[in-house]
Each structure stands twice: as structure tokens, then as C-alpha cells.
Amino acid sequence: MSEISVIVPVYNSIRYLPRCLGSLLSQTFTDFELLLIDDGSTDGSGELCESYAARDSRVRTLRQSNRGQAAARNAGIDLALSGGSKYLAFVDSDDFAAAQYLEALYEAIRCGVKISSVLFAETDGRDIPAAPKKGRLAVVGAEDYYCNASLLPFVAWGKLFDRSCFESLRFPEVPKHEDTMLIYRLIFGAERIAVSASRFYFYFINRDGVSAKKRSPYALLELEAMDAQLAFFAENGYDRALRHCAAVEARMIGRDISEADGVCPEQKRLLEEKLRQHIRDYGLKS
């Protein structure tokens, strides 16, 4: 039994896996297992995962047919809970972490909270600091955490979760934006979050590939997820989070309108109508 299970969903990421796994297997905190969930890769990623498991006892692999990242994460959660781990973390297979990543998260969550978090840096893999410095630790309320955009409260990575967070919740198995549908519920269920001001998670931006800016076919799914958050905040009296979420969604709609311009006129029209209604509903400035 390990203190922490680190869950890495893997799908056709053989180009980036060695960097990701190398960073995780070099952590200063050592009481963890690495759960590699291969989601039907066809580029040899699954075999690479098994090769890591064969030479490092901390690594466990599970291979499944292609069902999407959410299903892979859920499979990892089930493995972690059945194995008795106290805490769960998620890392994307093209991202990587500083050596102190898990140590900082673990130190923070031991403050008596159910979720801890570190800061992140965007990188193309060539511009990371050689020795990131450890920052100060603070415990903040759920609403303060959610309303701080720099903490990225919509994503699973960069955080450590107590196992109890997943007693009755899993990621919705949708094609994309499953984080946006779940993480806010975990944050507000936890009530307080411990934040280490340490930039120890590196979010990889492939400027020539899939992470490069382009119109997402799942834009409407993301907006549906934001609408669900608005309903949750309204129902539970989180007024500041409601206003923040409304402003964030307005910017998302504006972005989607721009990206749909000249590509999908009907979707652009529907988005413009939604934005006008959104501004009216939440008293935003147009």
C-alpha cells in the first residue's frame, strides 16, 4: 500500500512519455505508486508502459480499449482505492513535474485538508527553470480558491486529493472537459484547500501540434459544463463564485464566437444569442 497513487492516462503519447515518467520516477517523495492506464494506444505507448513496470516495482499498468481520458482516469481511481492509497494525483502523459512535486503536495495536504495544490508553468519543453524554488504554503477557502484563476480550479492535474473525495464521485465519461464537470464539486466539498506557491507542475504546450490554438469541436460541451457550475453555485448560495463563473463563461463564449467566425455561421449565431442572454442573466457588461 502506497501513500499516494499517481494516475497517468495514456493514449498515443510515446513521444512524451519518457519525459513524463522520468520526472515522476525521480520524485524526492518516494512512497507512491504510478498507475499507467493505457487507453487503447496504437503507437507503442502501452508496450512502453509495460517496460517501465517491468523494471520499477512502483509502476503498475492497466490496458483497456479506447474509451477516452475520463474512463482511463476512472479506471485509475478504482485501482488506487482498491489498493488502499490515501491520496490520489493526476498527471497528463505529455506533461511533467519538478522533483519536489509530490513532496510539496503531500506536505500541504497534511495541514488537515482534503485537497492540496501547487502552481504550474506552461512550457514547450525548452523553457523550464533548472531548479524551481519551493514557495510559501497557505490554506484558503473553497470560494477563494475557485475565484483565483491562476490556480486553475477547473483541472485535475497539479493537485492531490484525499481518497474520500472519490467515495461517490467519478469523472463523467464524456469526450472532453470532464475536469470542468467534476473538479469544482470536489473543491467545494473539501471546503478548504492547501496551496503551495511552488511552480512544480509543467503543462506542455505543443505549439505545432494538438495543443496549438484551434477551434474545438467540443466548445458547446464546455459551456454546458460551465452552466452546470452556475446552477450549483446559485443553488448553494456561493454568490462570489457565481459571479466569477459567469464572467469566465462569458469570455469562453466570446472566444468560441471568434473561433467559429467564417467556419460555422450557424454556431456563431447561436453563440452570439447565448452571450446576449448570459449578459442579461448575470448583469455583466457587454
Domain contains 213: no
- Mean pLDDT across the stretch 138-153? 94
Q: Tell me the pLDDT of the chain averaged across its residues.
A: 92
User: What is the arithmetic mean of pLDDT over 85-93?
Assistant: 98
pLDDT > 50? residue 227: yes
pLDDT at 6 over 80: yes
Residue 168 belongs to a domain with what CATH number? 3.90.550.10
233, part of any domain:
yes
Looking at the structure, do residues 18 and 140 belong to the same domain, yes or no? yes
- Confidence at residue 228, expressed as pLDDT on a 0 to 100 scale: 96
**Distance in angstroms (rounded) separating the CA atoms of residues 113 and 189:** 11
pLDDT of residue 161: 98
Answer with the one of 150, 179, 204 that is the final residue of a domain.
Answer: 204
226/261 same-domain check: yes
Residue 277 in grid coordinates = 442572454
Residue 266: burial class (beta carbons within 10 Å; 0-12, 13-18, 19+): exposed
pLDDT tier, 8 (very low <50, low <70, confident <90, very high otherwise): very high
Angle, alpha carbons 110-116-117 (nearest 5°)? 140
In this structure, the answer to whether residues 195 and 119 fall within a common structural domain is: yes
pLDDT at 211 over 50: no
Same domain, 234 and 177: no
Does residue 211 fall inside a structural domain? Answer: no
pLDDT of 129 over the 80 cut: no
pLDDT value of residue 208: 59
Residue 122's Cα: distance from chain center in Å? 14
Pair 33, 87 in one domain: yes
End-of-domain residue from the set 179, 204, 229: 204
pLDDT score, position 226: 95
Same domain, 199 and 225: no
CA 117 remoteness from chain centre: 11
In the block, cell 491562476 appears at: 150
Domain boundary (204, 238, 272) is at 204
| Structural domains counted in the chain | 2
Per cent of the chain over pLDDT 70 is: 95
Q: In angstroms, rounded to a whole number, what is the distance separating the alpha carbons of residues 163 and 269?
A: 44
Count of residues making up the chain: 286
Q: How large is the average pLDDT for residues 123-141? A: 83
- Does residue 227 share a domain with residue 94? no
- Residue 210 belongs to some domain of the structure: no
102 and 56 part of one domain: yes
Are 156 and 264 within one domain?
no
Instruction: Tell me whether residue 209 is in a domain.
Output: no
Q: Residue 214 falls within a domain, yes or no? A: no
Task: Judge if 53 and 161 occupy the same domain.
Answer: yes
Whether 99 has a pLDDT exceeding 90, the answer reads yes
Asked if 75 and 136 sit in the same domain, the reply is yes
Cα separation values, 280 from 155, 177, 197, 219, 273, Å = 28, 26, 37, 21, 11
Phi-psi region of 238 (alpha: psi -120 to 50; beta: other; left: phi over 0): beta
For residue 165, the model assigns a pLDDT of: 98
Give residue 213's pLDDT.
47
Whole-structure pTM value: 0.93
State the residue range of the domain holding 236: 219-282
The mean per-residue pLDDT over the stretch 38-43 comes to 97
Is the pLDDT confidence value at 74 over 90? yes
